[in-house]
């Protein structure tokens, strides 16, 4: 009885602490990367409505124009390609001029890409670089270059990782990059606590955004499959590719939530709450399936993930048989 009461009291205290908000939101500057679409785009609009001074970074000119068209002139946009150091430098210059001597209150590292994704032996180094350069190296460079401004304002950093940063599957640079974001953010948080800079990690489950666009993923899978050597293709079998596409379609349709505000709510909390959380699992699939599974012993995660993906025709047994035949 005593234990239950203590747990209830602790939970109530935590909930109250968690809901305390910062004062004087207006006049605070927030810089968000990847605002062309998805989480970044929605977050920019919502923070703008709440009175933040939003500087939204988009990869494309069209992204900037579309965002300007549905907001007021107090929302500023800048072009930013996080894989290009010069582009980051000019964004920092712009934000330095905009914020004057107040510094930057919020940095939301949201820009990311998922493709190329696929079984590991379908990929080459270029495929890994394309994802890692944006999701991890780009994020680190943006963070390093904005840190002086963030320290000045005793600001907040919000990094978008993924459940796939906690549980690696699907091959390619995506899980790798998100796992890197988790670890970079952890050490950054520990280093920056002395300066009053707080770091939060967002771990979304599957959501429908540009990153999970089935069209882009399928087109890229076709590219990977078509360039495989006959040996590798034969080891998987044509049927594998068809099944892989089927699983991809089915999982995108059934797993992906369309309510991306679940993710932006977490980002908002990390910026507005007096005590931002270290980690935010966003979406029921993250909270109830992926994150708990990431704590399970590896063999259980292996079995669960094996159930989700198709098997190559040349699995261990048939490979052994071929070797005997030769």
Ligand X SMILES: *[C@@H]1O[C@H](CO)[C@@H](O)[C@H](O)[C@H]1NC(C)=O
User: Looking at the annotation, which residues are catalytic?
Assistant: 174
CA distance 77 to 73: 10
Task: Choose the binding region for ligand X from 81-89, 191-199, 238-246, 294-302 (rule: CB under 6 A).
Answer: 81-89
Contact indicator for 163, 290 with CB cutoff of 8 Å = yes
Q: Give dist(CA 167, CA 165) in Å, integer.
A: 6
Q: Which is nearer to ligand X, 33 or 248 (CB)?
A: 33
Residue 243 touching ligand X (CB under 6 A):
no
CB of 277 to ligand X, least distance (A): 33
Residues 248-277 that bind ligand X (CB under 6 A): none
Smallest distance from ligand X to CB 164, Å:
23
User: Which one, of 150, 285, 268, lies nearest residue 208 by Cα?
Assistant: 285
Q: Which of 81, 213, 261, 294 binds ligand X (CB under 6 A)?
A: 81
Asked if residue 182 lies in contact with residue 165, where contact means CB atoms within 8 angstroms, the answer is yes
Q: Which is nearer to ligand X, 64 or 179 (CB)?
A: 64
In the complex, least distance from residue 33 CB atom to ligand X, rounded to whole angstroms: 13
Instruction: Give the binding-site size for ligand X (rule: CB under 6 A).
Output: 4
Contact 272, 49 (CB under 8 A): no
- Identify the residue among 32, 56, 59, 197 touching ligand X (CB under 6 A): 59
Q: Decide if residue 83 touches ligand X (CB under 6 A).
A: yes
Closest approach of ligand X to the CB of residue 169, in Å? 28
Distance CA 80, CA 236 (A): 40
Residue 84 engages ligand X in binding (rule: CB under 6 A): yes
- In the complex, the smallest distance separating the C-beta of residue 99 from ligand X, rounded to whole angstroms, is 25
Q: Pick the closer one to ligand X by CB: 87 or 235.
A: 87
Q: How far apart are CA 237 and CA 222, in angstroms?
A: 14
The window from 80-88, 139-147, 149-157, 276-284 that contacts ligand X (CB under 6 A) reads 80-88
Q: How far is CA 268 from the centre of its chain?
A: 15
The residue among 35, 31, 220 whose CA lies nearest residue 112 is: 35
Residue 62 vs 239, nearer CB to ligand X: 62
Binding mask of the shown chain, residues 146 to 185, with x at each position contacting ligand X by CB under 6 A: ----------------------------------------
Q: Quick check: 153 and 198 in contact, CB under 8 A?
A: no
For residue 130, the minimal CB distance to ligand X (Å) is: 10
Helix, strand counts (H, E) of the chain: 15, 7
Nearer to ligand X, 81 or 212 (CB): 81
**Residue 96, interface with ligand X (CB under 6 A)?**
no
- What is the SS3 string spanning 99-134? HCCCCCCEEEECCCCCCCCCCHHHCCHHHHHHHHHH
Contact window for ligand X (CB under 6 A) among 79-87, 102-110, 278-286, 305-313: 79-87
Q: Which residue number, 137 or 232, has a Cβ lying nearer to ligand X?
A: 137
Which uninterrupted H or E stretch holds 159? strand 156-160
Q: How far is CA 326 from CA 287, 317, 319, in A?
A: 49, 15, 11
Binding site for ligand X (CB under 6 A): 59, 81, 83-84
């Amino acid at each position: 009885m005593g234990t239950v009461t203590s747990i209830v009291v602790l939970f109530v205290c935590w909930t109250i602490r968690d809901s305390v908000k910062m004062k004087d939101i207006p006049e605070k500057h927030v810089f968000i990367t990847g605002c062309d679409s998805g989480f970044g785009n929605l977050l920019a609009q919502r923070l703008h409505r709440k009175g933040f001074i939003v500087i939204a970074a988009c990869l494309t000119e069209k992204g900037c124009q579309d965002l300007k068209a549905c907001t007021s002139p107090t929302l500023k946009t800048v072009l930013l390609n996080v894989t290009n150091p010069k582009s980051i430098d000019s964004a920092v210059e712009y934000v330095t001029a905009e914020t004057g001597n107040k510094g930057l209150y919020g940095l939301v590292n949201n820009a990311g890409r998922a493709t190329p994704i696929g079984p590991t032996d379908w990929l080459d180094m270029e495929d890994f670089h394309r994802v890692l350069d944006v999701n991890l190296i780009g994020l680190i460079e943006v963070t390093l270059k904005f840190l002086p401004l963030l320290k000045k304002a005793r600001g907040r950093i919000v990094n978008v990782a993924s459940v796939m940063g906690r549980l690696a599957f699907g091959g390619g640079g995506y899980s790798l990059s998100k796992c890197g974001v988790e670890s970079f953010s952890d050490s950054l948080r520990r280093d920056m606590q002395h300066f009053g800079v707080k770091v939060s990690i967002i771990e979304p489950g599957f959501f429908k955004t540009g990153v999970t666009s089935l069209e882009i993923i399928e087109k890229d899978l076709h590219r990977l499959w078509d360039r495989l050597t006959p040996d590798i293709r034969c080891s998987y079998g044509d049927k594998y590719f068809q099944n892989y596409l089927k699983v991809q379609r089915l999982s995108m349709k059934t797993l992906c939530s369309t309510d991306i505000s679940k993710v932006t709510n977490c980002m908002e909390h990390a910026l507005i709450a007096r005590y931002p959380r270290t980690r935010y699992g966003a979406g029921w699939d993250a909270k109830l399936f992926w994150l708990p599974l990431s704590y399970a012993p590896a063999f259980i995660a292996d079995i669960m993930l094996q159930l989700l993906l198709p098997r190559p025709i040349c699995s261990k047994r048939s490979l052994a048989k071929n070797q005997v035949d030769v």
